[in-house]
């Protein structure tokens, strides 16, 4: 039966079984590949993966003047770029999206540009980011911010139009509210859950844009390290970095979902 509920113990058991199957299939592929080529590193065994993780956390440079492990350098660079890019993109898209939803004279000239640019893959115009921002820290931030700006602006604009009724705005004016009070008390508070869900949906694409930019030109960074390890065929570190990126994505998604439920307990999805 469609959408039939399962007992919690059965659901958890099936989830664990799925993970075990994936791990078992990977081990089988690794053993098979090693049997064909004992020196292969493209599908490393679990012991090789552990060795790769240890190398990622190993101090670099001479003993007299050691440098931090490459993992902390890479993840620090990536997270700083991601945080600033996401922050700027969210702030800009929220402001423009709300203004477009509130004022037709703002929507008219901006809407066609936003609609068109939201359909253009950001990676397709990556050369322009290099041209105008170089390969400095600014370029990565710009890549993330503009990568999420257009689609997020369009989503917030639609949320203002669809989720805030004219009746609610008229009642606020009748009670003597100013335009700023209507925007904050009526519109902003009504669409806040949608904004948080929109940020959740944009964290994945933002990480893709950033890692791709780092893979192309960045150093240090997670993407840059993946590129260098690929040239060395060190797939143990590549798989570890991919796992870390996945965990970061899950943490961001779960954290934003929890924050939305805590901040907006009255909101229910699919209303």
Predicted local confidence at residue 65, as pLDDT: 66
Q: Report in angstroms the alpha-carbon separations of 214 from 101, 222, 232.
A: 35, 7, 17
- Out of 77-91, 116-130, 195-209, pick the least confident: 116-130
Look at residue 1 and tell me if it is in a domain.
no
Shared-domain flag, residues 162 and 33: no
Q: Strand, coil or helix: what is 45?
A: coil
Q: What is the pTM of this model?
A: 0.86
Shared-domain flag, residues 201 and 108: yes
Q: Tens of pLDDT along 211-265? A: 988 888 767 889 989 998 888 888 899 999 999 999 999 999 999 999 998 888 8
Parent domain of 87: 70-263
Report whether 259 contacts 196 (CB < 8 A). yes
Strand-pairing partners, residue 137, are none
Shared-domain flag, residues 105 and 233: yes
Shared-domain flag, residues 121 and 180: yes
Q: Tens of pLDDT along 50-63? A: 888 888 888 776 76
Look at residue 268 and tell me if it is in a domain.
no
Look at residue 63 and tell me if it is in a domain.
no
Shared-domain flag, residues 83 and 217: yes
Q: Tens of pLDDT along 4-53? A: 888 888 889 999 999 999 999 999 988 888 888 888 888 888 888 888 88
For 122-130, the CB contacts below 8 A with 24+ separation are 122/146, 122/147, 122/209, 123/209, 123/212, 126/212, 126/213, 126/216, 129/213, 130/217
Q: Is the pLDDT of residue 176 over 90?
A: no
The domain tally of the chain equals 2
d(CA 180, CA 99): 11
Q: Tens of pLDDT along 135-153? A: 778 888 888 999 999 999 9
Predicted local confidence at residue 269, as pLDDT: 57
Q: Is the pLDDT of residue 119 over 70?
A: yes
- What b/e string do you get for 77-101 counting C-beta neighbours within 10 Å, with b at 16 or more? bbeebbebbbebbbebbbebbbbbb
Shared-domain flag, residues 21 and 136: no
Beta strands in the chain (DSSP E): none
Shared-domain flag, residues 79 and 23: no
> In this structure, what token pair is assigned to residue 139?
């370029």
Q: Report in angstroms the alpha-carbon separations of 69 from 43, 48, 66, 238.
A: 24, 19, 9, 16
Mean pLDDT of 165-191: 89
């Amino acid at each position: 039966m469609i959408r039939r509920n399962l007992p919690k113990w059965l659901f958890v058991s099936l989830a664990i079984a799925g993970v075990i199957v994936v791990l078992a299939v990977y081990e089988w592929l690794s053993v098979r590949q090693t049997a064909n080529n004992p020196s292969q590193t493209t599908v490393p065994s679990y012991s090789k993966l552990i060795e790769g993780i240890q190398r990622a956390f190993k101090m670099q440079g001479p003993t007299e003047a050691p440098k931090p492990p490459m993992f902390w350098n890479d993840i620090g660079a990536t997270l700083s770029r991601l945080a600033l890019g996401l922050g700027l993109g969210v702030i800009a898209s929220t402001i423009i999206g709300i203004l477009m939803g509130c004022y037709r004279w703002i929507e008219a000239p901006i809407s066609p540009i936003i609609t068109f640019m939201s359909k253009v893959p950001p990676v397709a115009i990556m050369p322009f980011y290099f041209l105008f921002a170089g390969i400095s820290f600014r370029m990565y931030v710009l890549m993330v911010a503009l990568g999420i700006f257009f689609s997020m602006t369009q989503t917030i604009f639609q949320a203002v139009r669809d989720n805030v009724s004219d009746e609610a705005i008229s009642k606020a004016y009748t009670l003597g509210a100013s335009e700023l009070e209507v925007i904050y008390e009526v519109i902003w508070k009504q669409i806040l859950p949608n904004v948080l869900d929109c940020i959740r949906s944009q964290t994945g694409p933002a990480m893709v844009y950033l890692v791709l930019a780092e893979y192309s030109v960045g150093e240090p960074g997670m993407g840059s390290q993946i590129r260098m390890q690929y040239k060395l065929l060190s797939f143990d570190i590549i798989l570890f970095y991919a796992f870390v990126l996945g965990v970061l994505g899950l943490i961001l998604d779960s954290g934003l979902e929890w924050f939305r439920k805590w901040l907006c307990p009255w909101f229910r999805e699919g209303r």
